[in-house]
Amino acid sequence: MIGSIANSRFTSLYVTTALFVLLFLVGAVQFEGFGSTRVVANLFSDNAFLVITAIGMTFVIISGGIDLSVGAVIALTGVVCGLLIGELQMHPLIVFPLVLIGGGLFGASMGALIHYYKLQPFIVTLAGMFLARGLATTLSEESIPIDHPFYDAVADFGLSLPGGAWVGASTLILLVVLLAAILLAHYSRLGGFIYALGGSAQSAQLMGVPVARTTISIYAISGVLSALGGIVYSFYTFSGYSLAAVGMELDAIAAVVIGGTLLSGGSGYVVGTLIGVLIMGVIQTYISFDGTLNSWWTKIVIGLLLFAFIGMQRLLTRRQASAAAH
């Protein structure tokens, strides 16, 4: 039984899920109220923008790429929303499609550069990060408040659950994005193309995968979801700030890897990324409940988990290659 699990392609997902359950149970046993539905609901609502962004990163990493621009796109989205909604008093339902389209075009441009000029995704998206962050800072160095009745309505919208839990608009948006991402990854031709591209770009091309269109689509999806993450982030802060989400790209990458997606590409699950973010959220919640630990312990534990999961990925990859050879 254990051997079959170890050789399963779901091994990383099983380990990630077991780790989340274990950490949550440790907190629930140690602290009163930790195991409540309110804490679970808060894990989703507090990390909704990161999950949405990390889902886009999941597709990029599955394809064998990387996107370092996502945090800067979140900040740029917030600044643009602040200027158009907070200062020009445009309606959010007009502004949101504009920033989503802008995020998609930004990502698609990076994808086109990566494919047609055979550039490394790391370098292209690093340039994209500097460009988006620099543009956000040029537009405004100060935090821009967003005061609009629509934002008040979003803050008040949601569902009450037993135990005092509250499922807000951010969580509902997250669940819709998660469902759409699962359908895209496992029940669409584009999803199959993404996995094939991550397995081997040359083999994918020989199999008839439209590599150019797929690559551009992957980075466009990441750009759209980063912009959507920026919108959701603005629901928390009621503002746009050019220095928001600094380092968010690293949190997204960490969540994807902890969620079981191979850094080399070709294997991974969107649900695993969700659980990866929840693990990070549980660690932060544990530290908050404890009250004596420095908040930087969150980063330390995440770093240790990354080392562990990268080592596990290497071990599993070797074992699968050995099994295939025999």
pLDDT digits (tens, 9 = 90+) for 283-294: 999 999 998 888
Number of domains the chain is built from: 1
Would residue 225 count as lying in a domain? yes
CATH of residue 159's domain is 1.10.3470
Would residue 326 count as lying in a domain? no
Would residue 227 count as lying in a domain? yes
Give the global pTM.
0.94
Contact 223, 234 (CB under 8 A): no
pLDDT category, 97, cuts 50, 70, 90?
A: very high
Question: Which H/E stretch holds residue 160?
Answer: strand 158-161
Q: Is the pLDDT of residue 141 over 90?
A: yes
Would residue 325 count as lying in a domain? no
Residues near 124 by beta carbon (within 8 Å), at least 6 away in sequence: 110, 113, 114
**In the chain, how long is the greatest CA-to-CA distance?**
66
Residues near 143 by beta carbon (within 8 Å), at least 6 away in sequence: 82, 239, 240, 241
Would residue 247 count as lying in a domain? yes
Q: Is the pLDDT of residue 130 over 80?
A: yes
Q: Between the CA of residue 215 and those of 110, 253, 288, 302, what are the distances in Å?
A: 9, 18, 41, 30
Would residue 281 count as lying in a domain? yes
- Which domain range does residue 266 map to? 2-320
pLDDT digits (tens, 9 = 90+) for 7-39: 457 888 999 999 999 999 999 999 999 999 999
pLDDT category, 171, cuts 50, 70, 90?
A: very high
Would residue 116 count as lying in a domain? yes
**Distance between CA 79 and CA 285 in Å, rounded?**
29
Poorest-confidence range of 47-56, 96-105, 162-171, 180-189?
A: 162-171
Contact 312, 260 (CB under 8 A): no
